[in-house]
Amino acid sequence: MDATNDRLSPAKRKNMAKVLTIVFGLAGVVLTIIGAVIVMKAKASANWPSTEGKIVISEVKEEVQTIKHSPSRTGSDRSRLRTRTATNIMYVPHVVYEYAVDETKYTSNRVKFGQLSSSDYNDAAAVVARYPIGDIVAVQYDPAEPTEAVLEAGAGGSSFFVLIFGIAGLVASAVLFVVTRKMA
C-alpha cells in the first residue's frame, strides 16, 4: 500500500470540512442556548428569596468515564485496526439538602449553577467540606418554581463554562465555513 492511497482527495476533504462545519455549528447553537439558560438562572438566583435548609448528605462521588477512541491503524501492518479506550475518574461534590417553602418540603442537590466535576478529588472535597451533614444553611429558591434551589446563588466562573464552549463551537463553525468556501 503506498502513501498516495492514504490521502484524501480535495473533494473528500471539502466534504469532510462541510460536515465538520455543520457539526460544530449545531453543537455551538445547542451549547450556547443551554449555557445562556444556565447563566440567566445563575444571575436570577442572586435575587431569589431565601429559606432555611438542612444538609442531609454531603459526600464526594466518584464517576468513572470510559472513552472509546475511533479505530486507528497501527504499526507497519496498517490494515489492522485497534480501538483504544481511556478511563477517567471524575469527582463530584454530592450535597443534598432539605428545605420548605410555604409548608411544602423540597429536596435539592444543586450547590450552584454550573457545578462541575473535577479530576482533582480535593476540588470536590473542598465543596463538601463547606456543607457538613446536619448543618443549617440558607437556601435560595425560585419563587415561581420552588424545586429550583441553590446554596451558592449568583453567576460564578463555572456558570459560563457551557456558554463559552457553545460560542467556541460557533466560532469554529464560522472559520470552517470560510475555509471550506476557499477550498478548491
- Provide the residue ranges of all domains of the chain, joining segments of one domain with +: 8-46+155-184, 47-153
Quick check: 162 pLDDT over 90?
no
Q: Looking at per-residue confidence, does 98 or 27 come out higher? A: 98
182 — pLDDT class (breaks 50, 70, 90):
confident
Mean pLDDT computed over 19-24 = 88
How confident is the model over 62-112, as pLDDT tens digits?
Answer: 988 787 766 655 555 555 666 778 888 999 999 999 999 999 999 999 998
Helix (H, G, I), strand (E, B) or coil at 153: coil
Q: What is the pLDDT of residue 1?
A: 45
Give the residue from 82, 111, 101 showing the smallest Cα distance to 142. Answer: 101
Quick check: 51 pLDDT over 70?
yes
Q: What is the CA radius of gyration of the chain?
A: 23
Residue in the structure block whose three cell numbers are 473533494: 11
Q: What is the pLDDT of residue 10?
A: 78
Q: Which own/partner pairs from 22-28 qualify as long-range (CB within 8 Å, at least 24 positions apart)?
A: 22/173, 24/169, 24/170, 24/172, 24/173, 24/176, 25/169, 25/170, 25/173, 25/177, 27/166, 27/169, 28/166, 28/167, 28/168, 28/169, 28/170, 28/171, 28/172, 28/173
DSSP 6: G
Q: What is the pLDDT of residue 86?
A: 81
